[in-house]
Amino acid sequence: MAESRDAGRSRWCSYFAVKLMLVTYAFLCWLLGITLLLLGAYSEVERRRYRTLDGSFLSPSIILITAGCISFPVSFLGFVGALRDNLTLLRIFIFSLLAAIVVELIVGLIIVLGKEQTKEFFSDHVRGGIRNYYDDLDFKNLMDFVQEEFQCCGGDSYTDWEYNPYHLCSAPGKAACGVPYSCCATEKNPGALLNSHCGYGILHKERLELTEVIHVRGCTHAIFLWIGDRLPLAIFVSVLILLSQAFGIVTSYLLVQNITQTIKEGLNHVETDGPMLMEPAEDSSRIQRWLYMYLPHEQRPASLMNAQI
Residue 252 or 283, more confident:
252
* Cβ neighbours of residue 205 closer than 8 Å, sequence gap 6 or more: none
| Kind and range of the H or E run holding 81 | helix 60-84
Mean pLDDT throughout 286-299? Answer: 51
Instruction: Note whether 309 and 293 are within 8 A (CB).
Output: yes
Instruction: Note whether 87 and 255 are within 8 A (CB).
Output: no
Residue 7 or 184, more confident:
184
**184: β partners:** 214
Residue 249: is its pLDDT beyond 60?
Answer: yes
pLDDT at residue 7, rounded to an integer: 58
Mean pLDDT throughout 146-156? Answer: 91
Residue 284: is its pLDDT beyond 60?
Answer: no
Distance from C-alpha of 197 to C-alpha of 175, rounded to nearest angstrom: 8
Distance from C-alpha of 162 to C-alpha of 167, rounded to nearest angstrom: 5
pLDDT at residue 147, rounded to an integer: 92
Of 50-54, 110-114, 183-187, 215-219, which range is least confident? 50-54
DSSP string covering 208-249: GGGTTTB--B-HHHHHHHHHHHTHHHHHHHHHHHHHHHHHHH
Question: For residue 197, what pLDDT band results from cuts at 50, 70 and 90?
Answer: confident
**157: β partners:** 217
- The burial of 22, by beta-carbon neighbours within 10 Å (0-12 exposed, 13-18 middle, 19 or more buried), is given as buried
Mean pLDDT throughout 146-154? Answer: 92
Domain extent listing, the chain: 1-150+217-265, 158-215, 266-280+288-309
Distance from C-alpha of 36 to C-alpha of 63, rounded to nearest angstrom: 9
Question: For residue 192, what pLDDT band results from cuts at 50, 70 and 90?
Answer: low
| Kind and range of the H or E run holding 150 | none
pLDDT at residue 28, rounded to an integer: 95
pLDDT at residue 279, rounded to an integer: 40
Mean pLDDT throughout 261-269? Answer: 62
- Amino acid identity, position 226: W
Question: For residue 103, what pLDDT band results from cuts at 50, 70 and 90?
Answer: very high
Mean pLDDT throughout 39-47? Answer: 80
* Cβ neighbours of residue 33 closer than 8 Å, sequence gap 6 or more: 67, 68, 70, 71, 72, 73, 74, 75, 76
In order of 10, 278, 293, the CA distances from 289 in angstroms are 15, 12, 7
Distance from C-alpha of 199 to C-alpha of 215, rounded to nearest angstrom: 10
DSSP SS3 for 268: strand
Question: For residue 12, what pLDDT band results from cuts at 50, 70 and 90?
Answer: confident
Residue 127: is its pLDDT beyond 80?
Answer: yes
Mean pLDDT of the chain: 79
pLDDT at residue 18, rounded to an integer: 92
Mapping DSSP onto H, E and C, the string for 173-205 reads CCCCCCCCHHHECHHHCCCCCCCCCCCCCCCCC
How do the residues of the chain divide into helix, strand and coil, expressed in percent and rounded to 5? 65, 5, 30
Of 23-32, 195-204, 245-254, 293-302, which range is least confident? 293-302
- Amino acid identity, position 10: S
